[in-house]
Amino acid sequence: MRKLIFSAFTCLTVFSLAFAQHIRVVTTDKPTAEERQKLFDDCVIPDRPKPAVDKEFKSPELCGKAIWLPKPDYPEEARAKGISGRVLVEIVAGEKGYVVWAKAVEGDPLLQSAALKAACQSIYSPERISNRPIKVARVISYNFLPK
């Protein structure tokens, strides 16, 4: 019985240390405010070529991996004109989960800019293949509804 308790305690301690090491890596790997601003500025540049990705998700329902998915601001011009609808934005999330590229692929042009800015601010849980971080393409769906 004593060996069993000691083994369980040892396994729990090793797991706790490994988890703490993982948390430290994840939390210290965040970009600075200046780096985040540069990522955003690069992301919203129109007609930039799409970077190569390791995995693509085409369904807009795959936002379950989002850590931060901000809501877009409803453009006043679109609200005044009564424009509403869905905007699809294709994104590429980098190895750290931050969006490095985005392009509005469907929706009203007056709504696309707001959706693009919100998509460029989103953060995803980093994807991995064989424990190696990868770039992933996703599609985000934004619904603009008048109030």
Q: What is the pLDDT of residue 116?
A: 96
Q: Are residues 66 and 37 in the same domain?
A: yes
pLDDT reading at 39 higher than 50 = yes
- Report how many domains make up the chain: 2
CATH of residue 54: 3.30.2420.10
- Residues of the domain holding 100: 31-144
Mean pLDDT over the full length of the chain: 80
**pLDDT above 90: residue 52:** no
User: What does the pLDDT read at residue 120?
Assistant: 95
> How deeply is 25 buried, as exposed, middle or buried, from its count of CB atoms within 10 A (0-12, 13-18, 19+)?
exposed
Same domain, 54 and 90: yes
Q: Is the pLDDT of residue 136 over 70?
A: yes
Tell me, yes or no, whether 20 and 43 share the same domain. no
- Across the range 28-53, mean pLDDT stands at 85
pLDDT over threshold 60, residue 100 = yes
Residues 18 and 5 in one domain: yes
Pair 81, 14 in one domain:
no
Residues 19, 10: Cα–Cα separation, whole Å: 14
**Any idea which residue has 């800015």 for tokens?**
117
DSSP state of 97: S
Domain match, 56 and 13 both:
no
Average pLDDT over residues 112-139: 91
pTM over 0.75: no
| 68 and 117 belong to one structural domain | yes
Please say if the pLDDT value at position 111 is more than 80.
Answer: yes
Looking at the predicted structure, is the pLDDT value of residue 65 above 70?
yes
